Amino acid sequence: MKPDRTGLYCCFYQSGEHKSQLSDPLRLVMTGSYDKPSLSNMNAKVVASGHDVKLQCFSRIKFDKFILTKEEAPQFTRTQSSTAQDNGQQTTFHLDHVTSTQAGTYRCYGSFNTDPDVWSHPSDPLQLEVTEPPLDPTPTEPEHPQAMDHNQTQDHQSILIGFPVAIVLLLLLSLLLFFILHHRHRKAKKNATETKRQQQQAAGPMDRLASEARDPQDVTYIQVAFNAPTPGTASAPSLLPGPTQASEYATVARR
């Protein structure tokens, strides 16, 4: 292989005086004419699907352009002009929104504009790994409109049935609470009466009378008046009552 044999090739066939159309052109490239450049990944070696990737090709030789290829895809070829950088030439290839189909082994070459089909040795291979996100769970199919209406009707019926049931339960709880409080009140009153009765039985008769007399509803007051005769009238009692000399009050306890 020599540099003068590189370039575009086409073929055709001839039958008698008839010639076919030319085939699609085929580019023939010769590699290994210059030292290899270096290829580096400016991102991580493993990238997530959908992210952008930058691959940088650099050489001390002042190539006019760099060519990026992929081993698993011979049809993949990208060519970009180089720029001066750090006593050499470089360029950056952008792979936007990569997917698993773009994972693989990449290499880059350098060439000159005077011999565009004469390339350098390939760079060392660069392996690009692309990870896919986990698969989403299978989305549930939307319910049929009639099924949705049926479900809504069932929900409304449940609400209409549940509301009276809740009221009945609330009334039952209220009645239960009322009976519990009423029972406790009667029990407390009964205990108080029994305690009072036991205290009265244990007390003496006088204490019981005094205890009973303390109740203003069970006490009767009687006024006793004493009339003393007026001096000089002992032999003839007056028809009119004389002056009252003394009065006493006595309490009568009702048995």
**pLDDT tens digits, residue range 59-95?**
999 999 999 999 988 888 999 999 998 889 999 999 9
Residue 4: partners with Cβ closer than 8 Å, 6 or more residues away: none
Buried b (16+ CB within 10 A) or exposed e, 34-47: bebbebebeeeeeb
122-150 average pLDDT score = 73
Q: How confident is the model at residue 104 (pLDDT cuts 50, 70, 90)?
A: very high
Q: Where are the alpha helices (DSSP H) in the chain?
A: 145-202, 205-213
With 90 as the cut, is the pLDDT of residue 157 above it? no
**Who wins on pLDDT, 56 or 226?**
56
User: What is the enclosing helix (H) or strand (E) of 93?
Assistant: strand 89-95
Do residues 63 and 149 touch, judged by C-beta distance below 8 A? no
Q: Where are the alpha helices (DSSP H) in 64-215?
A: 145-202, 205-213
Separation of alpha carbons 252 and 255, rounded Å: 9
Question: What is residue 167's predicted lDDT score, i.e. its pLDDT?
Answer: 86
Q: How confident is the model at residue 186 (pLDDT cuts 50, 70, 90)?
A: confident
With 80 as the cut, is the pLDDT of residue 212 above it? no
Q: Name the pairing type of β-strands 244-253 and 126-131.
A: unpaired
With 70 as the cut, is the pLDDT of residue 214 above it? no
